[in-house]
Every structure is written in structure tokens, then in C-alpha cells.
A = this chain, B = another copy of it.
């Protein structure tokens, strides 16, 4: 496609996207399609000849859009916010348009250096000291896998350069809790640790944060048995109930026993833009690596996960490659991000952060985050003061975990009731929330924080929830 053809098509697409974003609140929140329905709308074989843009656009409208669960919808309260702020979308478009290749500094110096600068901007904005250096990963899953590989190689004195994990006699042990994100468990397995070497440490029964005492006891036991405590993963804002592991005491333990501490603040990282929230990761400076996702609440379009380390030399030693066709005269003077993560090639992801922060400004982002905290607080208040309703976990951020507990209902019957009302709402397309299991019982997570969600939408949701529940009484 020639640039002039692209120009015409691009304008059409921009108009389409603007209209789409303007009116998506009229679409059902949850996609109403059945499994296979989208696929059945598409050709089973690839097109030999070029098709007109109009046809592709009408298929986009007719087949793709109905297959989208609208996470930008103001009535979306599922999972975690996945805001795709339009300012960041512009940066993403610029990145696509430029068509750069990030495989070395030389292949695109600007890609490397804008990434260095925006990672440092976010470091400052979240109150991290200047001892940290960052990079952009696709997701926190990948960042966490990287952290656990770094921990493995530190504890094993770089076994990767010798006979690998098989040559390490003492089992390497990971400490986390059952509330940690599923990607922690997955990363540990992928990094080769083995399920038996993952310790799920007890949590505080009220806050669901990791118990430092239980952690210390587990470490001591493992050491006595000849095992090597290798990594602690502290979750700041867990997925289920936004629980916060106490980073400071865990960090002191990590330093005392020389164990890698990774802080997974995928969700709560955005809140660190607010000074009043930073107590939540107090002690973060004691950790070895930190990751969080601007592509969640802060709203820089997916995929954009930040990964900070204190010792880039260790990172590079574990992750580096230096084939002859990638060497250049400036190798010692520049950052080679290929040695900071798994993929060799990278997109110019930094542009979406650069556009987002510059076009929106940090002040307005902070205002929006504070609005959401207030809205979540309001909802929690309504729930708490209503008969037979319960807020089942502390509201640390913007996620409110609720349950309707009619008199006399418990166990499986209560679970059935919970899933009944939440599924009815989700299926209706009017709003979407994620049911989740807490202490063996289903509850419903109301995760506030979509960019377009205002107080009126919360009011509407609370009305909808109450009227739906009443249909089951």
C-alpha cells in the first residue's frame, strides 16, 4: 500500500475510531456472541486478491465489534481497569506509522533513549529513588518471569553458564501467597523451579497480606533442611481483593537472608502517582525488582508494563546476547534493551507513554485516579450500610469486593445465589463484574477505574445490583 492510499484509509479509520469511542457506551459491556460465532463470520481461506477497505471496515463493524467485551465502557467493572487513553493511542499510532525496529541501540537510537527517559519519568512520578533503572515489558507476567530468572541466577551463582538448574544441588525456593497473581506461579514453573518449591505463605486473615512471621519461619525451615531461599514475591494490590503484602518487613527479611525480593505492583503502581498512596509500598527500596502496569489504571494502552531493577549489570549478565551481526562501535556507551528482557526485537512502546503523559499531563491523570478512589469509597459505603450486604475485604484501592448474604443462606447455596445475580447482570450486557473466590466462597469484585466511569455510573450500578438481587428473593 502506497503512502497516499494509506493517507485516505487512515483518515477513514481515525473517523471510525472516534465515532466508535464516542458511542461505545451504547454497546453491551460483555460481548454477546457465542463461541465460534466470530470465526464463522470470517473467510476460512486467505484472500488472493486485494479487498477494498470498505469491505474490511464493514467486517470490522459487523463481525469484530460484536465480539468485543467493552473494557472501555463506563459500566465495565471487571478484572482490573484496562484503560486505553486516546492520548496514548496517538503515541501507539505514531509508533506503528514510524515502523521502527528495536533490536539494538543502533537500529533505533531514539527508541532506546525515549524509553530510558520515560522510564525515568515514571520512576520519579512513583517516588522511586534514582537507584532504579527501568524498561518496558509487554506484561507483568513477562516481568515476573524475568525477575524469577534473575533470582535463580543470583542464588545459583550463574548456573546458566555452567550446567544449569540441574547442576544446583539445593532446591531453590520461592515465597509468595495464594493471593499472588496467577502469573507468579506460572513464572516459577516456567523458570524451572517446580511446584514443590513454591511456598504459599499464610496471610493476615483481615488484610490478606503476607505474614512476615510466617515467612521467616518458612525460610528458617527451608534453610535447616538444606534448601536455598531464593525469591520473595510481594504483591501490592493482588488481583482478587487488591491485598497488599507488607513490603517493609518482607524487605528487611529479604535483606537479612539475602533473598531476591520482587514487588509485583501491576495494579497498585498507578496509585503510586499519588503521594498519599505511597505508604502502600513503603519499603520498596529494600527490593531488587519492581514491576507495574501503566496499561491498567493509569491508562497507557496495553501492552505497557514497567520493570525496574537496582542492578542492571546483573540483569544484563543473565539476559545478554552479543552476536557479531549486532555489534557496533558504541556498545559500551549505550543501553542495549535486548539484554534487559526476553525478546530481541521490540516496538517503539515508549512513544505511547511519551504521548500520554505529555498530551494529558500528570495532573489530570492524578485527578482521575483520586476520583476513582472516591467513587470506590462511595460504593463500599453504600454496600456496607445496606442490610444483608457485605464488603468482604478491605478496600485498599479502587476494587470493592462484595457479597449479598440473605439470612440463612451459606455454603453452596450462597455461592449459587452470588453467581446467579452476577451472571444475570453480566449476561444482560448492562454492566460487567468479575466473580472471584475468597476464603472458599464466591464474591463479586467491582473494580472501579475505567476512564469514562463517573459517580452516576456507580449509582446506576448499585441500583442495578439491588434490583437484580431482589429478583432472586
Q: A56-B355, A71-B99 are in contact. Are A86 and B303 (CB under 8 A)?
A: no
Name A190's contact: one of B193, B197, B342 (CB within 8 Å). B342
Q: A13-B94, A325-B445 are in contact. Are A303 and B46 (CB under 8 A)?
A: no
Name A342's contact: one of B5, B55, B142 (CB within 8 Å). B142
Q: A10-B93, A183-B344 are in contact. Are A84 and B110 (CB under 8 A)?
A: no
A218 interface hit (Cβ, 8 Å): no
A117 interface hit (Cβ, 8 Å): yes
List the one stretch of A282-290, A370-378, A432-440 in contact with chain B.
A432-440
Residues B64 and A114 in contact, CB atoms below 8 Å apart? yes
Q: What CA separation (Å) do A371 and B172 show in the bound complex?
A: 54
Q: A86-B6, A166-B172 are in contact. Are A79 and B93 (CB under 8 A)?
A: no
A334 contacts which chain B residues (CB < 8 A)?
A: 35
Q: A149-B190, A342-B141 are in contact. Are A67 and B9 (CB under 8 A)?
A: no
A428 contacts which chain B residues (CB < 8 A)?
A: none
Residues B17 and A97 in contact, CB atoms below 8 Å apart? yes
A411 contacts which chain B residues (CB < 8 A)?
A: none
A3 interface hit (Cβ, 8 Å): yes
Q: What CA separation (Å) do A318 and B100 show in the bound complex?
A: 34
List the one stretch of A36-44, A206-214, A252-260, A390-398 in contact with chain B.
A36-44
Name A364's contact: one of B50, B117, B329, B330 (CB within 8 Å). B50
A18 contacts which chain B residues (CB < 8 A)?
A: 3-4, 6-7, 10
**In which size bucket is the chain A interface?**
35 or more
Q: A47-B358, A124-B46 are in contact. Are A99 and B72 (CB under 8 A)?
A: yes
A110 contacts which chain B residues (CB < 8 A)?
A: 31, 33, 38, 63-68
Q: A14-B10, A165-B165, A326-B182 are in contact. Are A362 and B196 (CB under 8 A)?
A: no
Q: What CA separation (Å) do A363 and B90 show in the bound complex?
A: 32
A264 contacts which chain B residues (CB < 8 A)?
A: none
Residues B48 and A363 in contact, CB atoms below 8 Å apart? yes
Q: What CA separation (Å) do A64 and B101 show in the bound complex?
A: 14
- Chain A, 56-110, CB within 8 A of any chain B CB: 56, 60, 63-69, 71-72, 78-79, 82-87, 89-90, 92-94, 96-101, 103, 105-110
Residues A182 and B358 in contact, CB atoms below 8 Å apart? no
A333 interface hit (Cβ, 8 Å): yes
Residues B20 and A69 in contact, CB atoms below 8 Å apart? no
List the one stretch of A155-163, A380-388, A454-462, A465-473 in contact with chain B.
A155-163
A248 interface hit (Cβ, 8 Å): no
A189 contacts which chain B residues (CB < 8 A)?
A: 160-161, 164, 318
A224 contacts which chain B residues (CB < 8 A)?
A: none
Q: What CA separation (Å) do A352 and B220 show in the bound complex?
A: 52
A26 interface hit (Cβ, 8 Å): no
Residues A361 and B49 in contact, CB atoms below 8 Å apart? yes
A167 interface hit (Cβ, 8 Å): yes
Residues A166 and B163 in contact, CB atoms below 8 Å apart? no
Q: What CA separation (Å) do A11 and B93 show in the bound complex?
A: 11
**What 5 A-B pairs come out closest when comparing CB atoms?**
A164-B194, A84-B99, A67-B110, A17-B97, A192-B192
Can you offer 11 A-B residue contacts whose CB atoms are under 8 A?
A: A3-B18, A6-B17, A33-B110, A42-B113, A50-B358, A82-B99, A160-B195, A165-B192, A166-B192, A303-B345, A303-B346
Further contacts, 10 of them, CB under 8 A, given A7-B15, A64-B351: A13-B93, A33-B110, A46-B122, A78-B107, A82-B99, A142-B343, A160-B192, A160-B194, A191-B192, A239-B323
